Chain A
Amino acid sequence: MKRLFPAPWLSLALWLLWLVLNLSLSAGNLLLGAALGFLAPLMFAPLRPLPIHIRRPGVVIKLFFVVGRDVVASNIAVARGVLMAGKKPPRSRFIKIPLDLRDANGLAALSMITTVVPGTIWSELALDRSVLLLHVFDLDDEAQFIRHFKDTYERPLMEIFE
């Protein structure tokens, strides 16, 4: 079973993706989607993806909504920063954030979150994964930003992946 379906959740997600994209539950599409869900993980296996163990699905859902809220808030903040840039240039700079999260999948999720939220760009990760270099569009208080970053994103990801 494990050999046939190395990533059962990915298989299921691909199958659902196929059905939703085609908006159909016909036998042909059910079969094609199942074939995709079966073959794609086997084809990706040589890339040696790290196994994902997701703990605490409740935290995942909560993090999803927190990120959604932060995206809306920072969209408005960056839009304002752009429109006011003539009068008040945004205080853009790099900051270093010490990381406690070490799991590769968790770090990948963290890099996705920082990129999806406008106003922060993941710029560099130290080789030993202990420090993150982040570019921030408009930074007010560095210590407060780091605290917020670690509390809202890093801690939930550690609960989920570690």
Chain B
Amino acid sequence: MNSVSELSLWIEIPVAVLLVLSSLFALCGAIGLLRLKDFFQRMHPPALASTLGAWCVALASILYFSALKSTPVLHAWLIPILLAITVPVTTLLLARTSLFRKRIAGEDVPPEVSSGGRSEGGN
């Protein structure tokens, strides 16, 4: 990548800041996953990596490659959009499975919100 030096500092600084921010959020998510105790609590921090973490990387990529090629290179935005569509599928599945198992095990979780019959997931 010898073309890096051709970029002005005004592009390099925001790109670097965005990349560091993104990695900090991903790190926070990992720490949370490691340190929190309860299963449902631990489901929250990984969302940091799939939202702001991914957004910052995508933005940095757009800035960097747009500056490098001197035309807008916007397709990295597809990553956050596709993540926003796919991540809820696994998150919902995990939450529903865990609730189901914890209820059978008699752990301290709320009872089914609908009276009678089996309950249904989000979509």
Contact = CB atoms under 8 A, between A and B. Distances in A.
B109 interface: yes
B70 to A, nearest CB: 15
B87 A124 contact: no
B96 A131 contact: no
A81 B101 CA distance: 27
A12 interface: no
Majority DSSP secondary structure for residues of A touching B = mixed
B110 A115 contact: no
Contacts, number: 126
A133 B119 CA distance: 11
Contacts of A126: 113-114, 119
B96 A118 contact: no
Interface stretch (A55-63, A106-114, A154-162): A106-114
Nearest to B32: A82
Contacts of A85: 32, 35-36
Of the candidates A23, A75, A96, A124, the one having the most CB atoms from chain B within 10 angstroms of its own CB is: A124
A45 interface: no
Interface string A58-81: 000000000000011001001101
Given A107-B123, A118-B47, A137 B113 contact: no
B64 interface: no
B66 to A, nearest CB: 12
Interface string A123-162: 1111110011101010000000000000000000000000
A78 B88 contact: no
Interface in B3-30: 24-25, 28-29
Contacts of A107: 122-123
12 contacts: A21-B75, A21-B78, A71-B52, A75-B25, A75-B52, A78-B44, A83-B28, A107-B123, A115-B88, A117-B47, A118-B45, A125-B113
